[in-house]
Each structure stands twice: as C-alpha cells, then as structure tokens.
Amino acid sequence: MTYPAQWHQTYGDKTGASARAILPPLLRLFDAHSLLEVGCGNGHWTQSARDVGIDDYNVVDGPWNNREHLLVENDRFIEANLSVPLKLGRRYDMAICLEVAEHVQQASAATLVASLCDAADVVLFGAAIPLQGGYGHINEQWPSWWRDLFAARGYRAFDLVRPRHWDDASIHYWYRQNTFVYVRESDAAALATAQEAERESGGALALFDAVHPEKYIEMASYESIAMKKLLRRLPGWALRRIGIGGGD
C-alpha cells in the first residue's frame, strides 16, 4: 500500500525523531545487534538503529514501496506480502512493526504476528486503535486484541514505551499511545530484562487500552466542527426543538 508522497513530507521528520527517541534505548536494553523492520516505509526506524551502530539489518515492505526514498541500502530490502508467512531464512535480535498491522486484513493478522514471532524473540509492535483513522486503515484494533495474538504464540507484553515517552511531544502520539515490547516467554534472559525494565520505569500504565490526550483532542475538535456545520444546516424550528437557539 503506497502512502501519498505528501504524507512522508508532512510526517517523515517527526517519524525520524520518534525512532531516535524510542529505539536506541531498547536496542541497548536487550543488547540487540541485528534488526528486522516489517512494513518499513522509508526506513526511518532502521536508519535510527544504523546511526547507533547496528549494521546487521533488513527491511521488509510490499512491491509498492518506492525504494528511491529508502533511507537504508536497497540491498537490505526484502519485498514481501505481509498477509502470508514471511520466509526469511534467519532470525534477528529484534523485530519492529509499528503502525503497519492496521493495513493488513483482519483474517491475516495472526499470520503477521506469527511472522514477527518467527523473526525474533523481542518484538517492538504497535498498531492503530479503533477510530484512530489514517490512510488505508482496514483493521484498527485495541492493543489488548493484538496482545492476545502474541500470547497465543508464547509472547508477553511489556509497557516499556508509553510510561517513558507519553508526554514527549517530539514523538508522534500514535507511537506514544500504541507501542509495546513483546518478549518470548521461553527466552529467560530477555524476559528478565523486560521485567526489570518495567519495574524500574514505575510499572505499566493502569490501562492497557488507552487513548492519548492528543488524539482525544483531535477527535473532539473534529466532532465539534462537524456538529457545528450540521447545526448551521438545520432550520430554526429544529434547533428550538432540541433546545438550541432562542425566540419563537
């Protein structure tokens, strides 16, 4: 699925800033030296990993990806259909799939999760929540819905991103709102690392399914604007019937 060029022009710089803030600390935390980015777009997240010394990586996206705009080497690109199992022939220390899964049909969601779990014991994952809206979103789900799919593969969710970055306006709100780290429960070292990191951060947020205030304000403003336009179209008698407006 191709995003309009204007989308990348509008959001690309902040995506890069988001990646630089979120990813390097996690790479250090899990001592990750290899990385797979699934649904890479222009590759901002992998670029941020490369900038801190990660040189073993691949990026995955569909045939629509305009590789002229890739921020990493073209020979690291793997073309794939995310609706079918990825055949990578290797594993990585960490896999990333952020704000991608909502573009995949619901019937193929479990397949995508399985591909991520087959790729790495540590997965940085987030996807658009219901009513988040966006270009080409066809399967918006709450984080708990995705958590259950990962749990079925033996992975546990850790809230390592939201508590640390919730108030950082330099990061796109959707990353602050939706992103979790999933760790294979059979990987004792990674599991212990994630548990300790979550404790040190003050623990998970009280709500697993949460809407960031920035998104709430955006939606509330839209509803308010839309309602005002609707009310202006109603005749006076209708406004008086619902208690808006005065006079006879």
Identify the structural domains of the chain with CATH numbers, from first to last: 5-206 (3.40.50.150), 212-247 (no CATH)
> Tens digits of per-residue pLDDT, 99-130?
999 999 999 999 999 999 999 999 999 999 98
Residue pair 146/116 in contact (Cβ under 8 Å)? The answer is: no
Residue pair 43/70 in contact (Cβ under 8 Å)? The answer is: yes
**Total-model pTM:** 0.83
**Does 154 have pLDDT greater than 50?**
yes
- The predicted model gives 34-42 an average pLDDT of 97
Q: How many CA atoms lie within 13 A of 183 on its CB side?
A: 22
> Tens digits of per-residue pLDDT, 82-97?
999 999 999 999 999 9
Residue 246 confidence (pLDDT): 43
